[in-house]
Amino acid sequence: MEIYTGRTVFLLSGNVFIAHGSFYVERIGFPNKYPEKRQRRYAFSDKASLILREMLKDPKRQWGIRELAEKIGLDPGYVSRMAKSLSESGYAARAGGKLKIRSPKEILDDWVRAYDLKRNEHHRFFILASDVKSILRRLQEIDIPQKCKYALSVQAGAGLVAPHAVYKEVHLYISDQQSIDFFRNALDLKEADQGANLVLMWPYYKHSVFYDSHEVEGLSVVSDIQLYLDLYGYPVRGREQAEHLYDKRLKRLFSGNEDND
């Protein structure tokens, strides 16, 4: 169906409803000849990303569905459906009932386009400290209870595993309001819209952000995958640091798996 407005011709397909003043057009019951092609981003959703996070740790490994589901704590039926989606997306290959990751770097490239650090809930504070190293020392000195789940990320996390860029803010994922209250009291934090040097982040990846976190110099740091995602979209030398992290740690892990069948 064509509509000519005097200057522009619109090509319409499928069900159409147009109303403007006394002008009215309704056309129903026809299939859309130009359906929108949607990118398969749900593979990067919170719960689904657990599959990629585990498989990317060992790209050469072949996984059984139940084996993988048990490892990451998800329902086998859900993992089976996601395995089908990953295969259709080209992110994984299935053979003999086993699932194997394909093209890890391509997955990361697609993932960072789907990811947005700003979707985390940010609580910005000022802590009396001369520099970021002093902030990290303060964190090492306090007795953080096990129930307060936390993990460093962005430049502070990268500074512990693959230092490269200079930074002025420490970013810390926390799991709940109780953790915010603990750090606020233990470190005597002051809320600060301007001049903040410690940022507590409440994650939108609630199921997966802490997955595979590890301890470095007595502090918990998110996985290299999560670190790469957070850095890539961070405005202050974040992409530069992400690429350094990839070269120093992830590239070696993925080596020889870029063209897997």
Q: Give the pLDDT confidence score for residue 139 in this predicted structure.
A: 97
Cβ-contact 96, 54 below 8 angstroms: no
Question: Strand 190-191 and strand 92-95: pairing?
Answer: unpaired
What's the angle, vertex CA 242, arms to CA 236 and CA 247, rounded to 5?
145
| Rounded distance between C-alpha atoms, residue 26 and residue 254, angstroms | 54
Q: Give the pLDDT confidence score for residue 37 in this predicted structure.
A: 41
Q: Domain coordinates of the chain in residue numbers?
A: 1-37, 42-113, 115-251
| Rounded distance between C-alpha atoms, residue 57 and residue 63, angstroms | 12
The pTM score is: 0.82
> What is the 3-state secondary structure of the chain?
CEEECCCCEEECCCCEEEEECCEEEEECCCCCCCCCCCCCCHHHCCCCHHHHHHHHHCCCCCEEHHHHHHHHCCCHHHHHHHHHHHHHHCCEEEECCEEEECCHHHHHHHHHHHCCHHHCEEEEEECCCCCHHHHHHHHHHCCCCCCCCEEEEHHHHHHHHCCCCCCCCEEEEECCHHHHHHHHHHCCCEECCCCCCEEEEECCCCCCCCCCCEEECCEEECCHHHHHHHHHCCCCCHHHHHHHHHHHHHHHHHCCCCCCC
CA-closest candidate to residue 169, choices 237, 82, 89? 237
Q: Give the pLDDT confidence score for residue 7 in this predicted structure.
A: 52
pLDDT in tens, the chain (261 residues): 555 455 544 455 554 545 455 554 555 455 555 443 444 448 999 999 999 999 999 999 999 999 999 999 999 999 999 999 999 999 999 988 899 999 999 999 999 999 999 999 999 999 999 999 999 999 999 999 989 999 999 999 999 999 999 999 999 999 999 999 999 999 999 999 889 999 999 999 999 999 999 999 999 999 999 999 999 999 999 999 999 999 999 999 898 555 444
CATH fold for domain 115-251: Beta Polymerase; domain 2 (3.30.460)
Q: Give the pLDDT confidence score for residue 131 in this predicted structure.
A: 96
Cβ-contact 156, 136 below 8 angstroms: yes
CATH fold for domain 42-113: Arc Repressor Mutant, subunit A (1.10.10)
| Rounded distance between C-alpha atoms, residue 188 and residue 194, angstroms | 17
